[in-house]
Amino acid sequence: MSDMDDTRIRAAEYSRRVDREHPACLVFLLDQSDSMRDPLGGDAGRPKHVALAETLNGLLYEIVLRSVKSPQEGPRPYFAVAVVGYQTDGHGTPRVSTALGPPLNQHDIVWTPDLARNPLRVERRQTSGGTGEIATPVWIEPIAGGGTPMTMAFDRAGLIVKSWIDSYPNSFPPIVINITDGESTDGDPSEVAERIRNLRSSDGAALVFNLSLSEEPAESMLFPSDASRLPSVHAQALFHMSSPLPGFMLDAARSQGFEVIPGARGFGFNADLRSVITFLNVGTAVGRTLR
């Protein structure tokens, strides 16, 4: 599929509202290689793997809360979520598996009611003003070590996406969000990512987004429409692997203050923690179409 073909999104696509008959699927690919121990830019030296685990835990909690229509009922099964961590062990053997803790790690995907019932623990923190506490469930622990088998991670995501579309052919297309700080150590994942983008529900093609947490001395970018200012071949490859933002996600990005244009992609480069949060909020904006 050429870039020109890839940037065309028909107006009628990506319009399916999320409900119990037409749930949505979110697949997170989390780089857990050794370099993720390095500090995340603009976050007071906090390691990337720690900052991202906290951010993803917060996002999963938000997804659970989005699925609650009444306190008496609890969260509805509006979302199925997969969190796939990828690294290599001490012998260089790829380890690509769910990053969720037990008992959720028995399945590739889990539903929002399952998440609500099975956090690893609940952490309580003081609010910024010190006037109260915030309870935050924890599903993902920070892990980092070894290499970056990104191609195998995308292959795992492709199997999840294909199975989902076979089961829910009329639902909003699955969304894959890859968060990485390095180059793939098991080959070029571009072909696998393209196969995922070619998988379709009746509402459109599956979406693939990439967030590169580079420490290169270059400007931070979110949702660019071309790769000309990206400083490396690796960053440019991740850009071309990424899907264009559907219209309602363009609107979500604009509401966050970004001057995005049609053709802007779900791609970020050299991000700090605030940018990571913005990227994830825009990339999971399908939750705003709940009914």
The answer to whether the beta carbons of residues 188 and 220 sit under 8 Å apart is: no
Tell me whether strands 121-126 and 133-138 are parallel, antiparallel or unpaired: antiparallel
What is the per-residue pLDDT for 288? Answer: 59
What is the per-residue pLDDT for 124? Answer: 85
Q: What is the DSSP letter of 263?
A: T
CA distance 154 to 148: 12
CA distance 8 to 284: 20
What is the per-residue pLDDT for 272? Answer: 85
Domains in the chain, CATH or no CATH each? 3-289 (3.40.50.410)
Provide the 3-class DSSP secondary structure of residue 137.
strand
Higher pLDDT, 287 or 232: 232
What is the per-residue pLDDT for 289? Answer: 61
Does residue 2 have a pLDDT over 50?
no
Per-residue pLDDT tens for 236-287?
999 999 999 999 999 999 999 999 999 999 999 988 888 899 999 999 988 6
Place of tokens 């009914």: 291
Q: What angle (nearest 5°) sits at the alpha carbon of residue 19, between those of residues 14 and 25?
A: 60
Two structure tokens written together for 81: 């979520």
Instruction: Estimate to the nearest angstrom the gap between the alpha carbon of 4 and the chain centroid.
Output: 24
What is the per-residue pLDDT for 219? Answer: 81
Average pLDDT, integer, range 150-178: 98
Mean pLDDT of the chain: 90
